[in-house]
Structure 1
Amino acid sequence: MEFVLLIFADVPHLQGFLFELFLLIYIIILMGNGIIFLITKLDPGLQTSANFFLGNFSLLEICYVPVTLPRMLTIACATHMCFILILGATECVLLAVMAYDRYAAICSPLHYPLVMNFMNYRVCIQLVAGQTGQIFSLPFCDSNLINHFFCDIPPILKLACGDTFLNEMLVFTVSALFVLVPFLLILVSYGKIISTVLKLPSATSRGKAFSTCSSHLTVVALFFGSGLVTYLRPRTQGSAGTDKVLSLFYLIVTPVFNPMIYSLRNKDVMMALRQWPCKYLNSLKN
C-alpha cells in the first residue's frame, strides 16, 4: 500500500552533504525565479508579451520545488506524479509558445489560434490524470522501493509485475503530444526565424535578433533534450542511474539556470533589476 523513494540510499556517507547541496539549490531556485516573476509583473517597463511568458515560466519553475518533495503513501505518490506531469506538460507548451512569440517578433505572424488551441489546459489535465490512473491500476506485487528522486513514470513501471505494454504505449503517446509536438513547433519557429534573420542586410541586426533567441534555445536544449530521452526511449534501454541524471536536468538544472540565462541575455530585465531596489525604497519613503 505504499512506495518508498530510495533517493541517495546507495551513498549513505554523502546524504548529509547532498541534503545541504539540494537545500541550497532549492533556495536559489525560489529566490532567482521569484525575483524574475515579481519584476516582470511589477515593473511597467517589462509589460511585453515576451516578459509575460518569462514571468509565467519562472512561476512554473518555482512550482517544481514543493511537488518534488519525497512522498511515501501510494496516493501521495500518484498525486505527486500527476502534478509533476501537469507542470512538465505545461512547461513544454509554454516553451513552444515562447518560441512562437519570438517568431512573431521577428517574422510575419503565424496562425496564433493553432498554438493556443494546443494549450487547452483542461485537455492537458485530463490526459495526465488518465495516464496516472492507468499506471497505478497496474499490479505491484514485488518490491515497493522506487530507485529514483521522485515518483516518475519509468521507475514506477519497472516495479509493475503485470503486462505494461499498453501503459508504455500510452506514455509514449502522451509524451509525444506534450514533448515531441512542442519541440517540433519550436524547431519550425526557429527555422523560420533563422531564414528571416539571414536575409537581414545589417550584421548588427542579425546579431541582435540571434541574441534575443539564444537564451530561450539554451533552456529548450536542456529541458527538451533530457525529457525526450527520458520518456520517448524504449523502456528496455537505460538504467536507474541514467534516469536520475536526466531528471536532474529538467527538474533542477533548468530552474537554477533559468534566471541567469534569461536575465543576463535580457537588457531590459537587467536594467529593471538594477533600478528595482531604488524604486522600492522610494516607494517606502513616499
Structure 2
Amino acid sequence: MLQVDSLVLTVTDPDSGQATEILHGNSFTLGSGEALGLVGESGSGKSMTLKCILGIEPSSARVEGSIELDGTDLLGSGGEELRRIRANDLALISQNPHGSLNPVLPVGRFLIEGMSDARSLPAAQARTRAAELLRQVGIDDTERVLRSYPHQLSGGMLQRVVIAGAMSGDPKLLLADEPTTALDVTTQAEVVAILDEKRREHGLSMIYVTHDLDLAAAICDRLAVMKDGEILEIGTPEEIRDRPKTEYTRALMSARPQLYPDGAPQPAPGTGPLTNTEDRA
C-alpha cells in the first residue's frame, strides 16, 4: 500500500546556506491494514518522515527517493492532485490537538467545514455526520461539544475530536505523530484504544510515531527503530524485544521503566507472607 524507497531529506539553512542531511536513505513498506511504529528518541527523524509523506517538509528542504501510495508517486504529485490525495487518502493526528484547531472557532466548524470541503456534503448533512463521528470516539454530549471552543474542552476530549476529524474522510493511511504525549496516562490509554479500534474497524493502515517502545508494541504489527535520521532495524514487536539487532535497540529496551528493576522486594527479616486469617488477626 505504501512504499518508501531510499528516502533522503536535506535541509538548507537560509542564512548560512549550509545543507544538512536529516534522513539518510530510509526504505520501508506498509501493507493494507497494517500498523507500523516508528520508535526512537527525540530528533531521530520520525516526524520528518511523516512530513515527507504528507509533502509538508520545510520549504528549504530537498526530498529525494520515492514515496508511493497505492502506486501514486507522492513526491511527483503537486498542486491540486496532492491536495486531493491529502483530503481523501491521508489523515494526520498531531501531538498537540490545540495546534490542529482554530482557537476562535467552535469545534463544530473544524469537523463540518472539513467534510463540506473534502466531500462536498451539505452543511446539515455534515453536522449529522460530525455528531455520529464524535459518538464513535466516545463523546456522547455531541451538541455541547460541537458548540464548544477548544479552550473549553480537555486535552483528551480535543484529541478525540481530532481523531473524529481524521476519520471523516475515510482515509487509507493514518499518520499518528505522538498523539498521546500531552495527555495523562489514563487518557493516553483511552485515546490509543480508540485509535486501534478505529484502525481495525475501517481496515486502515497506520504509521504511529512514538518514543514509547511498549506502547508501539501494543498496537503495531511491526516496529522500525530510528536513530539520527536512519532506520536501524525493522521487525515484529517480539523480534525487537527478544532479538534486537543493534546496541541502540538494546539500550532502548533497557531504558524502559520497571516497577522493580532489582527484582521483587523481599519481606523484612522476621516476617513472611500472610497465609491465613489468623495471621491477619
TM bucket, shorter chain: under 0.3
Higher strand share: 2
Query: Taking structure 2 as the reference length, what is the TM-score of the superposition?
Result: 0.25
TM-score (normalizing by structure 1)? 0.25
Structure number with greater Rg is 2
